[in-house]
Amino acid sequence: MRVGLGTDRHRLEPGLPLVIGGHQLPEAPVGCVAHSDGDVLLHALTDALLGAIAAGDIGELFPDTDPRWAGAASELFVKEALRLAREAGWTLANLDATVHLQHVKLRDHKAAIRSSLARLTGLDQGAVGLKAKTGESVGPVGRGEAIDALVVVLLTRSEP
Ligand code: MG
């Protein structure tokens, strides 16, 4: 078995799309400043997958200086990390994610985000954990300046 940990943070500003786990929150008053679509959860998931197979990090594979990734759907990053894991002989068994966000309540979006993650990864929804927390009104998250995500994955050896 292999475990992988990924984290990410993006700055929030008004008037930008807020995409979390491949699900766009239509009424969100703020969104992520980013080179890609700024999906903080998928970026953390990508890093967790890459970490589990010791294949570097998202910045090495998809540099934010590369125009190919401008506005890119972050699903691309996850799919490539999953492909690399499969190629190395590993299968994703489950993922567990936490999102820290102050001013946008995720309660009504958690089911849609979990569905999106399950579709993207091929996992059963029962293997996709998602928790939402505020920033307790302190720090960059608590002041509404940033969104954070943490993801842990477990990989198991693929059948020969
Ligand atoms: Mg990112």
Phi, psi of 53 (to 5 degrees): -110, 10
Has residue 72 got a pLDDT over 90?
no
Query: Rounded to 10 degrees, what is the CA torsion of 101, 106, 112, 113?
Result: 20
Has residue 9 got a pLDDT over 90?
yes
Q: Which residue would you say has higher pLDDT here, 70 or 141?
A: 141
Say which range, 3-12, 59-68, 82-91, 129-138, has the weakest mean pLDDT.
59-68
Has residue 139 got a pLDDT over 70?
yes
Say how many Å lie between the CA of residue 86 and the centre of ligand 1. Answer: 23
Residue with tokens 């934010």: 64
Quote the tokens at residue 112. 């849609």
Quote the tokens at residue 119. 């579709």
Say how many Å lie between the CA of residue 34 and the centre of ligand 1. Answer: 7
Say how many Å lie between the CA of residue 70 and the centre of ligand 1. Answer: 12
pLDDT value at residue 68: 83
Report, as an integer, the average pLDDT of 130-147.
Answer: 97
Buried/exposed 129-152: b ≥16 CB within 10 Å, e otherwise? ebebebbeeeebbeebebbbbbbb
Sign of CA dihedral 81, 83, 89, 93: positive
pLDDT value at residue 160: 65
Say how many Å lie between the CA of residue 54 and the centre of ligand 1. Answer: 19
pTM metric for this prediction: 0.96
Q: Is 41 exposed, middle or buried (0-12, 13-18, 19+ CB in 10 A)?
A: buried
